[in-house]
Amino acid sequence: MGALIMFGMVIVIANVGGLYFLMQDKKEAHKAK
């Protein structure tokens, strides 16, 4: 059970990190224009 929770946390953190990176990338793209 503990391993399953850890696995879920890793997925959530990865998704949040990916979304944050995409948002930052979009801001940079707007700045370039």
pLDDT at 33: 65
Reduced DSSP (H G I as helix, E B as strand, rest coil) percent helix, strand, coil of the chain, to 5: 95, 0, 5
Indicate the number of domains in the chain: 1
pLDDT digits (tens, 9 = 90+) for 1-33: 799 999 999 999 999 999 998 888 877 777 766
- Residue-wise burial string across 1-32, b where 16 or more C-beta atoms lie within 10 A, e elsewhere: eeeeeeeeeeeeeeeeeeeeeeeeeeeeeeee
Locus of tokens 């990916």: 18
pLDDT at 11: 97
Q: By residue range, what is the domain housing residue 1?
A: 1-33
